[in-house]
Amino acid sequence: MNNSDRELCFLSIQDQSRLIHSKEISPVALTEAYLRRIEAVDDKLGSYLTLLADEALEESRLAEQAIANGNSRGPLHGIPMGHKDLYDTKGVLTTGSSLLFRDRVPDQDATVIAKLRDAGSVLLGKHQMSEFAMGFPASLGPIPRNPWNTEHSPGGSSSGTGAAVAAGLCAGGLGSDTGGSIRGPASLNGIVGMIPTYGRARRAGVLPLSWSLVHAGPLTRTVEDAALMLQAISGHDPRDPTSSSLEVPDFSSGLHEGIKGIKIGVPRHYIAAANSEISSETVKSVDKAIKELEGLGAHVEEVEIPGLEHLRTIGSIIFMSEAFTYYQHFLRTRKEEFGRYFRNYVYAGALFSAADYVQAQRARADLKRKVARIFQHVDVLALPTHNGPAPKLNLEAPLDPLRFIRGAWLTMIFNMTSCPAISLPCGYSEGGLPIGLQIAAKPFDEITAIRVAYNYQEHAGLKDNHPPI
């Protein structure tokens, strides 16, 4: 690997695409640069579970030939990506980073993988993750590390994808988010992570955890790149019964409109409710970002979201009950193949009754109505993504069944209310670790969330900051 590889691998998807389509670089050369960087760096990070070097080079050759013949498929054509090992990939191991599925090779792509292939992207490989996206260490493969400081966590459950995108080991990738598993790693690794509205992105072929909460979405280095990836994976999917049939807009259409007159709601009481858990550095960085958004012409006002005192309880009941429903057969027949964290957490889901689950879903519906009323008066909500910078890795931590829910305090509300939300860097801790700002909008208004996030990212000037690794 050389300095030119590093520079090339840290370019945005948009910039890489311009170079490819202007013939200044070939998809093959770009893929080779990523493979050299993976070889040089990933033994320190453990972000890849399966690397597809030969296959990626062949896909890049096909992309190069097609583009040369005038058959470009758009801005993602020839762009090397890696995806969380939760997404089915035809003929390639898809394990959920669990010993349970260590030999599982799907015979069909997940719909979002197929759509990214249709867009011409190159698959570098599959990323390590928390076992079955639960937020706890995997029972298969390495423990991913944060590229800003390898003694620290990259977050979960899209841990490998977050670390790989941040470290320039792929141009972008798919994560999944049930309570914050895209936005959390985005915040901790200093990149962009977005969940669209529930039902917007196709979820067929995604290993299940919580059917009613999980969102598929992109992890990228820029907001503009997230919009490009989201464009490719959105739309109705007959294989997914929860898929929306609404027309997909152009998510990049509002990027350059500015945010003058945009109304931003700040739920300070929500932040204060978790104040004992949120670092002062995080509060300071997010407050500064909100003031900068105000300086760009947005109107900022405080808002209150009633009923948040029950959020963690509601989320725990829904999340754990749905996880147990899917994995109960394996728990009865192959329990020793699960990691201890995942096994014990899912077992806890068996303790909830049908009445508990129904009441939790009723409370969730009430929360949706309350948040919808807030969005009648503001365009977006702005708040921290995570309670602090990346914590140190502690692989000997005692089992805490509620740890995942506790860490998702600031993000799960948007899974619960089906809202789109995006995280992007807004500062750094004294130790040089990234801090994330979260922007959320009403359901099916991804354009506004992207617009606000893009304008902040362009103003803040942080998108060219990369980890030292």
Active-site amino acid positions? 84, 157, 181
> Residue 84: which of 138, 129, 131 has the closest Cα?
129
DSSP annotation of 149 reads B
The residue written with tokens 């000037």 in the block is 461
List the 122-127 sheet strands across, edge first.
48-51, 122-127, 80-84
Nearest of 463, 456, 458 to residue 297 by alpha carbon = 456
DSSP designation for 248: P
Whole-number Å distance between alpha carbons of 329 and 74:
43
For residue 175, the cross-strand partners are 217
Secondary structure letter of residue 23 according to DSSP: T
Reading the block at residue 404, the tokens are 């995942």
Classify residue 15 as exposed, middle or buried by CB count within 10 Å of its CB (0-12, 13-18, 19+): middle
Residue type, 353: S
Cα 6 to chain centroid, rounded: 23
Separation in Å, CA 410 to CA 238, 241, 303, 452: 32, 28, 15, 19
Give how far Cα 191 sits from Cα of 186, 208, 385, 454, 462, Å.
5, 25, 12, 13, 10
The values of phi and psi at residue 181, to 5°, are -80, -5
User: Which residues have a Cβ under 8 Å from the Cβ of 125 and sit 6 or more positions away?
Assistant: 48, 49, 50, 51, 52, 56, 82
Secondary structure of residue 291 in the 3-state scheme: helix
Sign of dihedral through CA atoms 60, 64, 69, 72? positive
